[in-house]
Amino acid sequence: MDKIEQHIAIETTSFWKQKYDDYMQLIKIRLSSLVVFSSVITYLTAASGTINWFEVFILGAAGLLVTGAANGINQIIEKDYDKLMTRTANRPVSTGRMSVLEAGISSTLMGLVGVFLIGFYLNQLSGILALVSLLSYAFVYTPLKRVTPISVFVGAFPGAFPTMLGWVAYTGKIDLAAIVLFTVQFVWQFPHFWSIAWLLEDDYKKAGFKMLPFNPGRTKKTAFQCLLFSLILIPIGILPTVFGISGVVAAVVAVFGALYFSFYAYKLYKSCELADAKKLMLAAIIYLPIVQLFYLIDKI
């Protein structure tokens, strides 16, 4: 009897561990955490005087729910395509470990609760932004990925909304500062997404996703687009200083960060090699949180 109970306990533990792992995959926990970071750090940048840490907690927790919901719906819509790609073949919905019904109910609940918490405890405008971000990512960007490379442009809007959401969560309005910080993250996404798409182009082709701006994908024209948007980040990154959101130190960090970013974009343009696309992707991952952190540290 003891052995039977022990076996049941092991099986139960294994079940719940797998279930936990599946939900972490469903909401893409690492990606969602980076999105929440952008919202929270921008809220703190907007804050003056005493910080309401309860609101910070709500923004982080609810933001995670909304982002997780968008990612969950994305995986439901793309479940048949995920099976075709090496990178996504083991996702819970595509493998059948999680049913479409379970994923759908979970994602819907996460989205509703997240939007409600933001709208109720922060302000209605930030709740609307969260809802628009969720719907545009899940139901506009996601289906467009197999239709046109313009999907990257469309997806850059919900991709940058978390920054605007963080500012609006504190101020209650979309002002010039909100638009400026939104613009930094909006422009940053293009070389970031395209460097990822460059690396995954073969996988994306299996599912019919059109993520690079030109066909065939890995060309000088595509690499030039990465370089162009990286260079655009140099002036864009100093706009928070120009408009009095942050100080000179933040501008210096933003310029050097964009130059660092552009250096790897130039290397990709020269070589068109996968190794340089990976370096550009890593440079992009480093750039955004560091620059946003200095907008906070050096805020005026």
Domain architecture of the chain: domains with CATH: 20-174 (1.10.357.140), 181-300 (1.20.120)
In the numeric block, which tokens belong to residue 137? 């990512």
- Which pLDDT value is given to residue 49? 83
- The pLDDT averaged over each successive group of 10 residues in the chain (300 residues) is 58 80 93 94 93 96 97 96 93 95 97 98 97 96 94 95 97 97 97 95 92 88 96 97 96 96 96 96 95 93
- Which pLDDT value is given to residue 215? 79
Would the pTM count as exceeding 0.75?
yes
Q: Tokens 């982002």 map to which residue?
A: 67
CB 74, CB 91: distance < 8 Å: no
- Single out the residue of 181, 170, 176 nearest to residue 48, CA to CA: 170
Crossing angle of helices 53-77 and 151-171, in 10° steps, is: 160
What is the rounded CA–CA span in Å between residue 60 and residue 32?
10
